[in-house]
Structure 1
Amino acid sequence: ISGAHNRTDYNSYNKYYMKVKNFFDSYIKQHAPEHLKHAWFSSSNFAFYGVQRELLSGSSSSLLVSLGIALVVLFLTSGNLFIAIYALITITFAIAITVGVFVVLEWELGIIEGIVIVMAVGLSVDFVVHFGVGYIHIDPTDIDNERKKIEDQSKPNGNENDSKINTWRVMYRKQQVERTTRVRGSILRVGSAVFMAAFTTFAAGFSMIFASVIAIRQMGQFLMAIMLTSWSFSMFFFLPLCLIIGPVGICGSIPFSRLIKCFKQTPRQQ
């Protein structure tokens, strides 16, 4: 069996491996005795290819598992299903852009690169979860004050049709002003802290890109890329998304206090 292949090129070596595998599978099926029908071939020449294949499949599966765990953590910390879903979409976009940066930098998938991709989920979830929690746990007094301003500005007239239209208009404006209040409050509460966290980590990564060791230099590039993308998507994607279609009131919220009461044992009367 002959074939042009490059040990460092996964695609060409994968074609060669499949060619050898198909040959041995068909040969074993036709000529091997019954007790060897389930045999397989092995060669030390495919050791590096095996590492590459496991890294490719393992990195993808680990990334999906990490995103699933991140969704659960986001849901438990925010207590709102919509915020958790919006945050997961934000994290996915940030990781996709980060991986695209790695491709532009001509990274090759290895052990360090596989670990870095999985780490990207944990590092990118930090900023969006702060903004999400800040959006949900806003002071209700601020929302009530803004809603009251909308009610004061809306003056109903005697026309019944106009009154119905005005009611829907007031309801829509109340929802929009609540979203605006929540987003503004989230930025005021955690915006500066999130920015400083991203900036300091970005600066730490910047100091590592001048190292002569490739692994350290790649780690610095990773920190810079993930901090820039995760902070940018948290600020300019997640918050605008909440501003447009963010949950209002108790929409999507899970009443954890009621669930806790259900598990508490009520005292018996003597």
Structure 2
Amino acid sequence: MAAFLVSAPSPLMPVASFGIFTGMLVGVNFLFDLACFPIVILFHSEVITPCFARLVPFSRQTLSVRTESQERLITAHQNRISRDNNDGSRDMTYHQLQLQDKVNEENETVLDTVQHIEHKNKVVWFLENKFYKFMIWKPVRVVIPLFFLVITAFFTYSATTLGADSSQVKVYRESNNYAKAIERHFSGFQQNYDDRYNKLHLTWGMKPQNLASCDWKSGDSCTGQSEIDEHFDMSSSEAQISLMNLCHRLENFTDKEISSYGIKRNPVTNKPEIACFMSALYKFIQNTGYLENIPFPFTKESVVPFMKRNFHIYNISSIPENFDRYFEILVSYWLSNGYTHTLTEDFLTYHRLIGEMTIPGVTQCFNRSSYIGTYGTKLRVVAIEINTTFMFQNLGYREGKPIYHLWEKFIQQEVSKMPSSMKSGFQSSRESWHWIKIQETLVKSAVRGVVIGISLAFPILTITTLNVVIGFLATICITMITVVVVGLIPLIGWKLGVLESINLSLIVGLSVDYVVHFAEAYRTSPFTHRKGRVKSMLEAMGLSVLSGAITTFGAAVFMLFAEIQFSYQFGIFVMCTIGTSFMFSFLLFPAFMASWGPEGNTGSIPAIVKALKLKCQRKRTIQTLNY
């Protein structure tokens, strides 16, 4: 459950919700197993079995034989517990352990004889005899760990090649007609000038979007709140000069810079497609005969004479003495084409990049013959628009992140040169940077989920098995399973996208299942020597693990026929994880335990605690005697 819940803090709604759902599912399943399953067993034992025995008389003999078999197992287990509680048992030598296990194996032979009478399951018999002898054979105990170590090393290298998926989340499988149509729409034809490339904006007057009101529940529907920068002001000479210098810097990028920053060139002029309103405003004034004598920067000294010459538009006497929005006077005149309001190329390009607001008591409206408009407004937002060469559908994480950092570094350097009224500048893209951030979050969420899951596996397994050695060996096995499954993803041809990140949140949870069953069976074995424990482990849990693997793997097979990409991919992922986990738990873990499994009380937490208590008691006794 903990391995699934580590995905809950993810900022991505699908990953977080799936982790919470699977974690809750495991928790509810555990509670029902703990509360309901014992009741079902008792009902079967106390009600159904006696009724069946009365109805079918010959079943009583089988019932009595089973009871005798169970009694023998209980007796052997109680003997082991009594030895563990004996203080002198911790001093038993390796030879004494072997002698004790020899007696236990003789008892087990008797149990096998009884169980053969019971028509013992052939799979269980194979596991505790043929398979057990194969696993404890010394060459096998050496070859299997080395073989799995080589496999893990190969898949570790494969996992390092796993990259973020640049494409959008696919709803349908590639064989589906809808999926083919979507793929051909975006990638099947050569892009032309009319296709929608991403646009980059360098913006002043706005603060970055305030997302304080958004949380993981709101998902993508929450866009935050827009906030105005009250310190932004374009009226000063320093602000106008700094923005003009930035425009010249962008328009004179070298070929290498244009390529590195991903700027699109105009197919006719071959110039970078950069819409900077300061350059356009300056050209308008220089190319208009009766305006060309207005010097730059556009301050009160240069604009007031222009207003006096155009007295049919501007009423100088109505302007307050503290009025300082002279730069906006020329901006309004330029966009409205001299207040004639005839559409121009500049208006179509720049009107959406400039935001104005009226000033109460200052802004004036006029309607004189063919001249209609307002003046005396204040600029609140300005932006420079740059056409790029990438589309967010095709922008990969590896390619897009360097471009994002280039623009981020560029705007920070330029803003640092500007006056205080222009310090709010930032760069943004409507879709591309957001998608790159999602891909980066997917990578971090997947890595964090796997690392936290494996980190939690060791303490949890140690606590549940009450043995440090068993917990350590089980954690190594789970780590190798996780590495192999992650390494399978690029070999299959997948990349790390939303669906893969969701699936990765399940790796540790699915990998730990079979190993922990064997680990607990090894710990509860009535034997003290590792070979006897391995045999008991295979006998007690081998069939359960095999049955669980077959049912889970078989259920995932039916998902291969789904048309939805997530269901299809989830089925393959579950099959790979279950298959890998089964192979490692049935081959590697028994080999580990047959070679390095703890014997007696080695690594036992209760034994360690008991030894520490005895040591403290002896120390206090010695101190008491000394006094």
TM-score category of the 2 structures, normalised to the smaller one: 0.7 to 0.9
- The corresponding residue for 2:558 is 207
| Amino acid corresponding to residue 225 of structure 1 in structure 2 | C
* Structure 1 stretches lacking a partner, 5+ long: 144-177, 263-270
Question: Structure 1 CA distance, aligned partners of 2:526 and 2:412?
Answer: 67
Distance 1:132-1:34 versus aligned 2 partners, 3 A rule: farther
Q: Of 544, 551, 554, which residue of structure 2 is paired with 1:193?
A: 544
- CA-based RMSD of the aligned residues comes to 2.4
Q: Of 238, 241, 245, which residue of structure 1 is paired with 2:592?
A: 241
In percent, how many aligned pairs have the same letter? Answer: 29
Question: Structure 2 CA distance, aligned partners of 1:32 and 1:244?
Answer: 72
Q: Of 204, 216, 219, which residue of structure 1 is paired with 2:570?
A: 219
| Amino acid corresponding to residue 478 of structure 2 in structure 1 | I
Question: Structure 1 CA distance, aligned partners of 2:573 and 2:469?
Answer: 29
Contact 2:525–2:533 under 8 Å retained in 1: yes
Q: Aligned to 2:561, what secondary structure does the other structure show?
A: coil
- The corresponding residue for 1:95 is 482
Distance 1:186-1:8 versus aligned 2 partners, 3 A rule: farther
Question: Structure 1 CA distance, aligned partners of 2:437 and 2:450?
Answer: 20
- The corresponding residue for 2:535 is 184
- The corresponding residue for 2:317 is none
Question: Structure 1 CA distance, aligned partners of 2:608 and 2:417?
Answer: 66
Question: Structure 2 CA distance, aligned partners of 1:84 and 1:98?
Answer: 21
Task: Tell me the CA shift for residue 125 of structure 1.
Answer: 0.4
The structure with the largest alpha-carbon Rg is: 2
Q: What are the within-5 Å matches in structure 2 for residues 75-86 of structure 1?
A: 75-86=462-473
Q: Aligned to 1:209, what secondary structure does the other structure show?
A: helix
Contact 2:601–2:607 under 8 Å retained in 1: no
Q: Of 5, 11, 17, which residue of structure 1 is paired with 2:398?
A: 11
- The corresponding residue for 2:513 is 126
Q: Aligned to 1:108, what secondary structure does the other structure show?
A: coil
Contact 2:446–2:501 under 8 Å retained in 1: yes
Distance 1:179-1:257 versus aligned 2 partners, 3 A rule: closer
Deviations 1:15-52 (A, max 9, x none): 21222222223333443639948x75432231111100
Contact 2:534–2:590 under 8 Å retained in 1: yes
Contact 1:14–1:49 under 8 Å retained in 2: yes
Question: Structure 1 CA distance, aligned partners of 2:533 and 2:413?
Answer: 64
| Amino acid corresponding to residue 559 of structure 2 in structure 1 | M
Q: Report how many residues are paired.
A: 223
- TM-score with structure 2 setting the length: 0.34
Q: Of 406, 410, 423, which residue of structure 2 is paired with 1:23?
A: 410
| Amino acid corresponding to residue 200 of structure 1 in structure 2 | T
* Structure 2 stretches lacking a partner, 5+ long: 1-257, 263-388, 614-627
| Amino acid corresponding to residue 82 of structure 1 in structure 2 | V
More helix by percentage: 1
Contact 2:556–2:571 under 8 Å retained in 1: yes
Question: Structure 1 CA distance, aligned partners of 2:478 and 2:569?
Answer: 21
Question: Structure 2 CA distance, aligned partners of 1:40 and 1:132?
Answer: 56
Question: Structure 1 CA distance, aligned partners of 2:522 and 2:426?
Answer: 56
Question: Structure 2 CA distance, aligned partners of 1:132 and 1:32?
Answer: 67
Contact 2:453–2:508 under 8 Å retained in 1: yes
Question: Structure 2 CA distance, aligned partners of 1:85 and 1:248?
Answer: 15
Deviations 1:117-165 (A, max 9, x none): 111111110100011111111114xx4xxxxxxxxxxxxxxxxxxxxxx
Distance 1:136-1:229 versus aligned 2 partners, 3 A rule: same
Task: Tell me the CA shift for residue 102 of structure 1.
Answer: 1.6
Does residue 255 of structure 1 match 2:611?
no
Question: Structure 2 CA distance, aligned partners of 1:34 and 1:242?
Answer: 70
- TM-score with structure 1 setting the length: 0.75
Does residue 43 of structure 1 match 2:429?
yes
Contact 1:5–1:12 under 8 Å retained in 2: no
More strand by percentage: 2
Q: Higher mean Cα deviation, 88-97 or 247-256?
A: 247-256
| Amino acid corresponding to residue 94 of structure 1 in structure 2 | I
